Homo-oligomer: A and B are copies of this chain.
Amino acid sequence: MPRKKEIEEKLKTVNADIGDIIRIIRNDEQHEGVLMPHHEFSDDDIITIKLKTGYNIGIAVDKKTEILLVQKQKTTEKQTKRIPYDQKKPTISIVGTGGTIACYIDYRTGAVHPASSAEELAFSVPEIFDLCNVKSQVAYQMLSENIEVSHWQALAEIIAKELNNGAAGVVIPHGTDTLGYTAAALSFLLKNLSGPVVLVGAQRSSDRPSSDAAQNLIAAATVAATSDIGEVVVVMHGEISDTFSTIHRGTKVRKFHTSRRDAFQTVNDLPLGKVENGAITLHAPYRKKTTGPVTTDTNMEEDVAILYFYPGMKPKDIPEKKGIVLAGTGLGHVSTKLLPRVTKLIKDGTVIIMTSQCLFGRVNMRVYSAGRDLIKVGVLSGEDMLPETAYVKLMWVLAHAKNKQDIEQLMMTNIAGETAERTKSNAFLQQNN
């Protein structure tokens, strides 16, 4: 008999359905919790239960494993949830955008739903209500790889409105794939922040054992409700265990792993701080929140591209655009063969910024003659900026500068913490802490 079938029969025998509290007894271990739906990526012999702590665990079941029904789910008792309100607590606004984190799980029943409201998301982690009051809305429901400039602009307007209407901070649950891009973009679109704007995601959805959704949401709410940060930040797992979450500056953070929970890492700087056991520690300088009002400045030029250089790249591989961010090699190089094409494009009005595919460290085109040639024809230095951040900055700058000089001036100005005069040499593969 196949494993899955066997387990289904075992559960049927004790009349245990999804949402019921069960006890699993295997050798000397006992685990009690709410029976969760089988996850399509779990092995067939795994039963997932939600423990009282809110954490999901997967337990391998064999022939000798005993399953007991502890309590049937009270299905008749229709829960009408109302967001609690306590006037002594700060109020945060949760603005949903989609992504893995929005595939929430009902806290009580263990059933998986796409969150049709950010409210539901909050209810899936009721610990948040101990911290603060929650206002919520959904801006849109999207796979984050489909998010574009217009979504950044709409989101910026909503965030400004929420903060200006009295929210202490704003939490943006977001798909992790392009979370870094959105964080960088919002950093340029929003001005004079009167509270923290916290982007948060989950690498593993709530129906999986080891989901990071709950801890990330609670940490994000903590930062939004109680910190005096006046920047756009990203809050995600600090390391693979559930010990702490890291607060990253929106313009300096990047997703570095396809699946690990600590995939987000600050580049060329130290993280702003962390959230551990509910307490925020800030160990790097940050912009403090203002008394408002928050304003938006959302014009962006969309005719911009990121081009990753590779050996053998041909002149025709560089398209005509208003702006191009090159991810060159090392200190900021591309092959000599591309120089005539780069020269022509710049002459015709394209703005070209050099960043490095190394990602860590600083572009310096003055070291080698090939780099100096690029400077001569007008390639601008992206300094210590991530290619992704240079991309959104260039989109913003092109829509705000009046002339070439303006563009250069703005690109070289630190607007949202995206660049620093000196890069900390220890800010390399640091792991968060």
Contact = CB atoms under 8 A, between A and B. Distances in A.
Given A257-B360, A428-B260, A317 B319 contact: yes
A191 interface: no
A412 to B, nearest CB: 18
Interface of A: 41, 143-149, 176-178, 181-182, 240, 255-260, 262-263, 265, 302, 304-313, 317, 319, 327-337, 356, 358-364, 367-368, 370, 387-388, 391, 425, 428-431
Given A177-B329, A181-B311, A258-B331, 16 more contacts: A41-B367, A145-B334, A145-B335, A145-B370, A148-B312, A149-B311, A257-B358, A258-B330, A258-B332, A258-B362, A262-B428, A263-B361, A305-B310, A306-B308, A310-B391, A429-B431
Contact of A329 (B148, B178, B310): B178
Nearest to A312: B148
A143 B41 contact: no
A431 B336 CA distance: 33
B310 A306 contact: yes
Contacts of A359: 256
A357 B359 CA distance: 11
A304 B429 CA distance: 30
A403 to B, nearest CB: 24
Contacts of A333: 143, 145, 177
Contact of A336 (B146, B311, B336, B368): B146
Nearest to A361: B258
Contact of A143 (B146, B305, B336): B336
Decide if the interface of chain A is mainly helix, strand, loop or mixed: loop
Contact of A327 (B257, B304, B308, B358): B308
Nearest to A327: B308
A363 B259 CA distance: 9
A311 B257 contact: no
A305 to B, nearest CB: 6
A151 to B, nearest CB: 8
A146 B317 contact: no
Nearest to A337: B146
A81 to B, nearest CB: 29
- For A145, A259, A263, the residue with the greatest tally of chain B CB atoms inside 10 Å of its CB is A145
A387 to B, nearest CB: 8
A312 B302 contact: yes
Contacts of A262: 428
A327 B359 CA distance: 14
Contacts of A178: 311, 329
B319 A259 contact: no
Contacts of A312: 148-149, 302, 304
A260 B391 CA distance: 25
- For A307, A327, A428, the residue with the greatest tally of chain B CB atoms inside 10 Å of its CB is A428
Contacts of A431: 429
Contacts of A308: 306-308, 327, 387
Given A147-B311, A306-B310, A333-B143, A260 B425 contact: yes
